[in-house]
Structure 1
């Protein structure tokens, strides 16, 4: 039986689709172009904020590194295995709405951090870099596995990055943007992350569930995997899968 999409998620998805993907006008711009432009200019925009507010603290440079360079990590990923959904075309108005409705809000976070001259502690810098690095690796590894798995074999992906969470790529993205909000240390920064998660990530996840639930093995897979959080990793069986039973049972002589 096909999984149903919650009414609220379906409604948000429809609104976003109408404002971006189906915006009136001739469809001449690939969505990927707009997204990639955002990734390219973020580094220079954040650097510009540093000059504007004369903020060249260690924290500001580290923020520039993790947020600015993430965009170029994305571009490398896009070059190797672009999400096929981003190949869709939209109108000029739709491309503008993409920034207004969604991705432009991400720039609010560095503005808060740099303009307010937030000074993170060394431990806070460590946590932000730690969370960001794990998020980037998780997102890229998941997108890579999905791309090449579906290229050569259609159907459910139930192993690797997708074994315990059905959306490791979104989990990684949430980790990435949470690292930025953590450094900004302001409720508005966290509101931006929450907005993206609730308005885009969750509707996409629920729509994906509805799409893949038609495949054989869905019931078993859905019980072993979480929608977003890999809860299954919290049991001993998962640890055996990752490290190997012999390693877990190893006893030094």
Structure 2
């Protein structure tokens, strides 16, 4: 909760900037784009995961399968990547509205929480439950898509 509160600190500056409607810049547009990509990425990844889990419950064939199609073909955690992009985009939008640099602490903490908390916990749980997950780990980038360039 504290990380989300700190991450949201840029919102104060976005809404308190009385000239923001006059200062819509390329930076603001790019920030909105990063936010939109983050939300879209997280939403699509979560929907794909929900559909896959439903498939896995209904079919004996997929009972021990691991999702590695759709966005999950390029990143083992595209939903976390979307979350990180959202918070970074929000900070950038805040900077366009004169938010101080200390507001970067929020997105930084959230990113560190994902990298050193959520992702390792998910990876360990998947590996224990699905031993073949080690093959997915070898093929697919953990967070940032590499499109098979670095193996």
TM category, shorter: 0.7 to 0.9
Within-5 A mapping of 1:199-218: 199=113, 201-202=114-115, 203-214=117-128, 215-218=130-133
CA contact (8 A) 1:135 1:171 kept: yes
Greater C-alpha radius of gyration: 1
**d(CA) in 2 for partners of 1:168 and 1:216?**
21
Query: Do structure 1's residue 175 and structure 2's residue 89 form an aligned pair?
Result: no
Q: Give the TM-score of the pair, scaled to structure 1.
A: 0.48
> Runs in 1 of length 4+ with deviation above 6 angstroms?
none
1:125 aligns with 2:35: no
Quick check: 171-180 or 182-191, which moved more? 182-191
| Root mean square deviation, CA, Å | 2.1
Where in structure 2 are the equivalents of 1:1-253 lying within 5 Å?
99=1, 101-115=2-16, 119=20, 120-153=23-56, 154=63, 155-185=65-95, 186-199=100-113, 201-202=114-115, 203-214=117-128, 215-231=130-146, 233=147, 235=149
- Structure 1 residue 226: Cα displacement: 1.5
Q: 1:176/1:118 Cα in 2 relative to 1: closer, same or farther (>3 Å)? A: farther
**Structure 1 gaps, min length 5:** 1-98, 236-253
Q: Specify every segment of 5 or more residues in structure 2 that has no aligned partner in the other structure, as ranges.
A: 57-62
TM-score, scaled relative to structure 2: 0.77
Number of equivalent positions: 134
Structure 1 or 2: larger helix share? 1
